[in-house]
């Protein structure tokens, strides 16, 4: 799969593939453009996917493993916009995405050409009302409000889609925890979304891997999701190439995944627990004459697919909810103290360089401050907020503008010998007006 592209409503153009290597929410519209042979990109630079060796993707009905079929049927969701389906008949929802072959100008030899391309990302039900996905798939509260999470998006036979009703479609009520970027040396990309209502007992959550340990090189993994936006496929032929045991932020594997697989649950096939979240990979499709075909690499070739470890997402979720889910948060560190906060209203701050609301905090060497008008519990904002952090010498040490849409979030670790009184300066982007509650925690 390639790097995701900006734009939640992006769709592939018939007869014209638009490829850009940039930050974005992956969608069926090609996450195709990843530069080949480059080092793993920063989170958010999602690439499309690719075939490694044999194409191991299988429709749900055709896969031989009953447990993986169950995970697809009971715990996998497709992220869609409301325009991606037609719910006029609540008992028989239909999908409006163009056929895969048409959407990507695929050659007649390509698989799954008649499948609809309605999903822009994938996700996994991990609790009664919680879905795990990639952070670049749902980037803000407004994006959450537009997102629909659709169960039962799979084939029950070669030419038959599972009947989907409106009872199978959920709205995103809020983003409980999210990260997309490098934090304390970890390149992370995850989001935990709260549904508008419990999905159980209609559906069954997938178990999540516990512990902050690396997988092993060569370990078999399986991925379930909507590559290129099509109905769920299971690929159980991938293996781990690089565990990144030094950082434990993501691992690299040879999964056959495509744009739209971003956010897919990646399972350890021994325990069938969610070990990671598919976030980046190789270019999906390449030109062959007048049409396109799936990009094929050897099993050990190309760059591999990047999969965020699930532990950082669970750690953030448990911190945000004060270990509110006993099953997901069992064994997690004690929750941090509740955040402190201050409110402000500002205008004409020249991106938080004048007319700011300032707030002092005392920090010791080694402490980590997390602050924002988003991401931190109780944080909020309206307009385009802007935050800066200054050390005791008056030197800026951290800044953020648009971590969560137009809202701001940053984290900073105090270096050795640099303890003292720091200053948070809260303002608005450029000369605009904004307001917010800046919440912060110190650990």
Cα separation of 86 and 168, whole Å?
13
257 three-class SS: strand
- Could you tell me the residue ranges of all domains in the chain? 2-313, 340-442
Q: Which of 117, 181, 115, 120 is nearest to 146 (CA)?
A: 120
Over the range 146-156, which residues count as b (16 or more CB within 10 Å of their CB) and which as e? bbbbbbbbbbe
Residues in contact with 350: Cβ distance below 8 Å, sequence separation at least 6, in sequence order? 427, 430, 431
CATH class of 2-313: mainly beta
**pLDDT given at position 119:** 97
Peptide bond into 245 cis (omega under 30): no
**pLDDT given at position 49:** 47
**pLDDT given at position 54:** 81
Cα separation of 255 and 131, whole Å?
21
The CA–CA distances, whole Å, from 422 to 100, 104, 361, 412 equal 54, 52, 5, 11
CATH class of 340-442: mainly beta
Q: How many residues does the chain have?
A: 443
Q: What is the pTM of this model?
A: 0.71
CB 88 within 8 A of CB 53: no
Half-sphere exposure of 233 (CA within 13 A, CB side): 26
Tens digit of each residue's pLDDT, the chain (443 residues):
544 433 343 344 333 333 333 333 333 333 332 222 333 333 333 334 467 778 889 999 999 999 999 999 999 999 999 999 999 999 999 999 999 999 999 999 999 999 999 999 999 999 999 999 999 999 999 999 999 999 999 999 999 999 999 999 999 999 999 999 888 789 999 999 999 999 999 999 999 998 899 999 999 999 999 999 999 999 999 999 999 999 999 999 999 888 889 999 999 999 999 999 999 887 778 888 999 998 888 877 788 899 999 999 999 999 888 888 888 998 888 776 789 999 999 999 999 999 999 999 999 999 999 999 998 889 999 999 999 999 999 999 999 999 999 999 999 999 999 999 999 999 999 999 999 999 999 98
Helix, strand, coil percent content, the chain, rounded in steps of 5? 10, 40, 50
CA dihedral defined by 172, 221, 246, 320, rounded to 10 degrees? 20
296 three-class SS: strand
Cα separation of 254 and 299, whole Å?
7
**pLDDT given at position 2:** 46
The CA–CA distances, whole Å, from 136 to 5, 289, 353 equal 9, 33, 29
Backbone angles phi, psi at 228, to 5 degrees: 60, 20
CA dihedral defined by 309, 416, 373, 352, rounded to 10 degrees? -130
Q: Which of 65, 4, 62, 49 is nearest to 254 (CA)?
A: 49
184 three-class SS: coil
**pLDDT given at position 34:** 28
**pLDDT given at position 23:** 33
**pLDDT given at position 284:** 78
Over the range 164-183, which residues count as b (16 or more CB within 10 Å of their CB) and which as e? beeebbbbbeebbbbbbbeb
Q: What is the pLDDT of residues 60-74, one digit of tens each?
A: 999 999 999 999 999
């Amino acid at each position: 799969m390639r790097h995701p592209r900006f734009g939640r409503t992006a769709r592939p153009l018939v007869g014209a593939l638009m490829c850009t290597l940039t930050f974005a929410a992956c969608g069926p519209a090609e996450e195709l453009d990843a530069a080949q042979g480059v080092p793993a990109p920063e989170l958010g630079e999602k690439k499309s996917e690719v075939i490694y060796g044999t194409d191991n993707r299988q429709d749900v009905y055709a896969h031989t493993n009953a447990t993986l079929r169950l995970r697809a049927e009971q715990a996998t969701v497709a992220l869609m916009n409301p325009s991606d389906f037609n719910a006029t008949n609540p008992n028989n929802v239909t999908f409006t995405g163009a056929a895969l072959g048409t959407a990507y100008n695929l050659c007649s030899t390509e698989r799954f050409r008649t499948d609809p391309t309605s999903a822009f990302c994938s996700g996994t039900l991990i609790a009664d009302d919680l879905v795990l996905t990639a952070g670049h798939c749902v980037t803000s509260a407004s994006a959450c409000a537009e997102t629909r999470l659709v169960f039962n998006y799979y084939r029950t036979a070669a030419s038959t889609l599972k009947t989907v009703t409106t009872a199978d479609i959920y709205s995103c009520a809020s983003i409980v925890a999210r990260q997309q970027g490098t934090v304390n040396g970890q390149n992370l990309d995850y989001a935990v979304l709260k549904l508008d209502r419990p999905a159980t007992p209609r559906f069954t959550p997938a178990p999540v891997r516990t512990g902050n340990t690396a997988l092993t090189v060569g370990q078999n993994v399986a991925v379930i999701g909507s590559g290129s936006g099509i109905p769920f496929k299971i690929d159980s032929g991938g293996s781990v190439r690089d565990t990144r045991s030094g950082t434990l932020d993501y691992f690299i594997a040879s999964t056959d995944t495509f744009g739209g697989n971003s956010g897919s649950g990646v399972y350890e096939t021994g325990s069938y627990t969610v070990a990671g979240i598919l976030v980046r990979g190789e270019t999906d499709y390449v030109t062959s004459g007048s049409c396109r075909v799936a990009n094929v690499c050897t099993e050990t070739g190309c760059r591999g697919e990047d999969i965020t470890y699930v532990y950082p997402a669970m750690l953030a979720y448990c911190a945000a909810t004060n270990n509110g889910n006993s099953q997901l948060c069992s064994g997690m560190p004690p929750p941090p103290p509740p955040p402190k906060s201050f409110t402000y209203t500002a205008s004409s701050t020249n991106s938080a360089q004048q007319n700011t609301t300032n707030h002092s905090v005392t920090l010791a060497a080694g402490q980590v401050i997390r602050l924002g008008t988003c991401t931190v519990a109780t944080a909020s904002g309206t307009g385009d907020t802007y935050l800066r952090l200054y050390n005791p010498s008056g030197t800026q040490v951290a800044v953020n503008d648009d971590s969560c849409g137009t809202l701001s979030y940053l984290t900073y670790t105090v270096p050795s010998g640099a303890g003292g009184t720091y200053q948070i300066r809260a303002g608005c982007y450029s000369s605009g007006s904004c307001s917010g509650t800046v919440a912060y925690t110190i650990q």
